[in-house]
């Protein structure tokens, strides 16, 4: 499982070192994308861009940041979900057109990418990348000469977009923050004095000592320029469908998304698991770091002590894990190692956030039993993955997923667990602490809230 992307932007008074703030903000969002990153800075209408493959600390040094002078900036960390990982596909994207320049950073995936790309190419468009973000930039640039303002061009572009998109769009004199009408990906705003700050997660606001103000509403466009900050809500009003997996896995536990603290949601998932799948055991452990919070909740609800049973090598990035199964298996042992003194002779409850193919879970269970665990009972703080995601999550095709082709008992046997339990999909709203909440759970249910205008030819369920 890989994260979506992360975006961060600032708009402040003259003299502000915007690049340094974005640099710090991107560090806080590094968990959302570890393939490439970039920063575009606006200095009185002149936009400078620096981007490359690698982590934030690898791509930017002191010299690079000194070259990025300006009081407004947008930044991006990427994991490839549409288009391969390459420097040309790294963001922000810089577009020069008749009205000047646009820098765009995008988190999410469009569902109608192929339809839009084909239509635009038939009209003469030439694309330099293979990512859907360039389609968004092209639409804005195409509509801008017909519109009075850049925000009007963004609004017109939104009429054609289907899917997930949280955007930062920087023109010569403005910075726009945009959240899609379903609110599928998070985006929030805050202030440092007179400087407005936008980020994928509130933890990034904390990293730059910004005061959190609010999450953007689904469909909202927030405009920051020299006259102040204002909001357009012409695309607001739809039933929101934020991605439930942000709470289960993507977001950092110190973030709060749409008034729900992520840490509390994960604790609640663990408590729900303990009630739904009780078991006699001696110790509850989590797969670090994604399963640790739910493990704490499981321990609190079950009364089984919580302990540390696995150590994670924090110096191995996700880019180390290669696509072949043999390499995935060997990588698990390099990333995780059991604490023999903690697990030997114990009946363990092992809590993790998900099972995708089952390869990683099988390796972890094998390691724990080799370290002396007498039983390993696996508990997963999400429902089984049954469907791929088209909105910015790198969930494999259904052919690669374990759950669509095997019963829970068959998966248990494959991973070598003594028992296996998944979170009941009907309890996801309880996990959020918001009974009746609406969200996108298509990867679990197959109920996709939006698809391409080309129609439902793939047999997927459309709400």
Contact call for residues 78 and 12 (beta carbons, < 8 A): no
Q: Which of 5, 37, 188, 243 is catalytic?
A: 5
Pairing of strands 347-352, 375-380: parallel
| 400 prior amide bond cis, ω within 30 | no
Does residue 91 contact residue 106 with C-beta atoms inside 8 Å? yes
* Six-digit token string for 249: 């896995």
Round to whole Å and give the CA distance between 273 and 427.
10
Pairing of strands 375-380, 419-422: parallel
DSSP 131-184: SHHHHHHHHHHHHGGGSSSHHHHHHHHHTT--B--EEEEE-SS-EEEEE-TT--
Collapsing DSSP to helix, strand or coil, 75 comes out as strand
Candidates 316, 410, 390, 325; CA nearest to 363 is 325
In the chain, what is the straight-line distance between the N-terminal and C-terminal CA atoms, in Å?
25
Q: Is residue 236 annotated as a catalytic residue, yes or no? A: no
Q: Is residue 326 exposed (0-12), middle (13-18) or buried (19+ Cβ within 10 Å)?
A: exposed
* Residue 126: Cβ within 10 Å count: 7
User: CA 382, CA 379: separation in Å to the nearest integer?
Assistant: 9
User: Active-site positions?
Assistant: 5
């Amino acid at each position: 499982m890989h994260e979506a992307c992360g975006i961060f932007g600032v708009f402040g008074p003259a003299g502000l070192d915007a690049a340094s703030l974005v640099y710090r903000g991107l560090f806080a969002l590094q968990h959302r994308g570890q393939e490439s990153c970039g920063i575009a800075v606006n200095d009185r209408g002149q936009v400078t861009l620096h981007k490359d493959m690698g982590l934030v600390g690898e791509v930017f040094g002191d010299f690079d940041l000194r070259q990025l002078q300006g009081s407004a900036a947008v930044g991006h960390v990427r994991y490839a979900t549409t288009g391969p990982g390459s420097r040309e596909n790294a963001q922000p994207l810089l577009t020069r057109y008749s009205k000047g320049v646009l820098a765009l950073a995008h988190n999410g995936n469009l569902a109608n990418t192929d339809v839009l790309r084909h239509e635009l190419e038939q009209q003469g468009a030439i694309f330099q990348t293979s990512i859907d973000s360039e389609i968004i930039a092209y639409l804005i640039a195409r509509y801008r000469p017909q519109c009075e303002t850049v925000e009007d061009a963004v609004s017109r572009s939104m009429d054609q977009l289907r899917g997930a998109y949280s955007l930062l769009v920087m023109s010569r004199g403005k910075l726009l923050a945009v959240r899609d009408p379903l609110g599928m990906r998070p985006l929030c705003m805050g202030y440092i004095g007179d400087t407005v700050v936008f980020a994928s997660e509130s933890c990034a606001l904390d990293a730059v000592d910004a005061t959190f103000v609010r999450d953007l509403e689904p469909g909202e466009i927030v405009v920051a320029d020299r006259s102040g900050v204002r909001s357009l809500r012409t695309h607001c009003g739809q039933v929101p469908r934020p991605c439930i997996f942000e709470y289960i896995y993507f977001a950092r536990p110190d973030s709060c998304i749409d008034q729900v603290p992520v840490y509390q949601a994960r604790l609640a998932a663990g408590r729900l698991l303990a009630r739904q799948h009780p078991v006699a055991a001696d110790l509850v452990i989590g797969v670090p770091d994604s399963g640790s919070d739910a493990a704490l909740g499981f321990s609190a609800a079950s009364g089984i002590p919580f302990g540390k049973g696995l150590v994670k090598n924090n110096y191995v990035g996700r880019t180390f894990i290669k696509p072949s199964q043999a390499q995935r298996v060997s990588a698990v042992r390099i990333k995780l190692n059991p604490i023999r003194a903690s697990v030997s002779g114990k009946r363990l409850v092992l809590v993790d956030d998900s099972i995708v193919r089952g390869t990683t879970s099988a390796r972890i269970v094998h390691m724990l039993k080799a370290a002396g665990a007498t039983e390993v009972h696996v508990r997963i703080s999400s429902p089984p993955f049954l469907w791929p995601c088209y909105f910015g999550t790198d969930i494999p095709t259904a052919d690669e997923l374990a759950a669509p082709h095997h019963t829970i008992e068959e998966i248990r046997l494959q991973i070598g667990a003594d028992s296996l339990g998944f979170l009941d999909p009907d309890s996801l709203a309880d996990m959020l602490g918001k009974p009746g909440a609406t969200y996108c759970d298509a990867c679990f249910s197959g109920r996709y809230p939006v698809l391409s205008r080309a129609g439902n030819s793939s047999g997927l369920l459309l709400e």
